[in-house]
């Protein structure tokens, strides 16, 4: 039987702290929050490994690697009063971590089974709400946000979230697919997103965030 307490500690010591994640709020959240409760029981023993963990039946939706998630949250430089939109929250693990750093978290998901799992797992966290809707549409009802987090990769710059960000607000995501993908930190400036790469990262491309096919003649 897996010793999840030890597994959590090993995850933080071996994957998070060694990746220069020094924010004690993130470390504490990842030590406390039982990640095994956010994955199917059949893969609970894999919950703390350094991998993108499948959480749906098809294996197309995954939790970000702990190191990637922790570094993205740290790069976002969240203030305690910030409002965060967590896009593609899946089963809610990142929303739970974000809840320890921000004032309020709006978690968005479009997959029915994942929504149910997230609402169950996050039921006792007062500053998180889980909403159902298309991932690409965000959640304008709760805007403006200080931060938007995309829990996965996008092949296109997520310009559509600009109207839901405060001016100067941040957006973090993984941009690109394949070995050249990068975790990106964007800032809203007027009607534009200005961004920079923050580290090499890979993640599954989210539904609706693929490039339009280009036809060559």
Rounded to a whole number of angstroms, the distance between the first and last alpha carbons of the chain is: 58
4-200 belongs to CATH 3.40.50.150: yes
Tell me, what's the pLDDT at 214?
61
Tell me, what's the pLDDT at 58?
82
Tell me, what's the pLDDT at 86?
98
Count, residues in the chain:
217
Query: Global pTM?
Result: 0.95
Q: Identify the H or E element spanning 47.
A: none
Contact 92, 118 (CB under 8 A): yes
Tell me, what's the pLDDT at 65?
97
Any idea where the domains of the chain sit in the sequence? 4-200
In the chain (217 residues long), the average pLDDT of successive 10-residue segments reads: 92 97 98 97 94 88 97 98 98 98 98 97 97 98 98 96 98 93 97 96 95 66
Cβ-count burial 163-194 (b if 16+ within 10 Å, e if not): ebbeeebbbbbbbbbeeebbbbbbebeeeebe
The runs of H, that is alpha helices, within the chain are 4-11, 24-32, 66-76, 93-99, 112-121
What's the chain's Rg over C-alpha atoms?
Answer: 16
Tell me, what's the pLDDT at 217?
55
Tell me, what's the pLDDT at 5?
96
Cβ-count burial 19-54 (b if 16+ within 10 Å, e if not): bebebebbbebbeebebbbbbbeeebebbbeeebbb
Burial class, 208, CB count within 10 angstroms (exposed 0-12 / middle 13-18 / buried 19+): middle
């Amino acid at each position: 039987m897996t010793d999840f307490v030890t597994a959590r500690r090993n995850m933080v010591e071996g994957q998070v702290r060694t990746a220069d994640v020094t924010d004690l709020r993130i470390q504490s959240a990842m030590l406390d929050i039982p990640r095994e409760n956010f994955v199917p029981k059949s893969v609970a023993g894999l919950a703390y490994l350094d991998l993108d963990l499948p959480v749906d039946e098809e294996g197309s939706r995954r939790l970000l690697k702990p190191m990637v998630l922790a570094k993205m949250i740290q790069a976002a430089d969240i203030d305690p009063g910030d409002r965060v939109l967590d896009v593609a929250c899946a089963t809610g693990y990142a929303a739970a971590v974000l809840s320890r750093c921000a004032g309020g978290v709006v978690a968005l998901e479009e997959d029915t089974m994942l929504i149910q799992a997230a609402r169950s797992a996050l039921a006792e966290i007062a500053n998180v709400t889980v909403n159902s809707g298309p991932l690409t549409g965000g959640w304008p009802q709760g805007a403006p946000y200080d931060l938007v987090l995309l829990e996965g990769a996008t092949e296109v710059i997520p310009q559509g979230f600009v109207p839901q960000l405060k001016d100067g607000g941040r957006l973090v995501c993984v941009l690109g697919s394949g070995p050249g993908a990068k975790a990106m930190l964007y800032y809203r400036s007027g009607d534009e997103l200005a961004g920079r790469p923050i580290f090499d990262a890979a993640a599954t491309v989210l539904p609706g965030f693929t490039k339009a096919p280009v036809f060559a003649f």
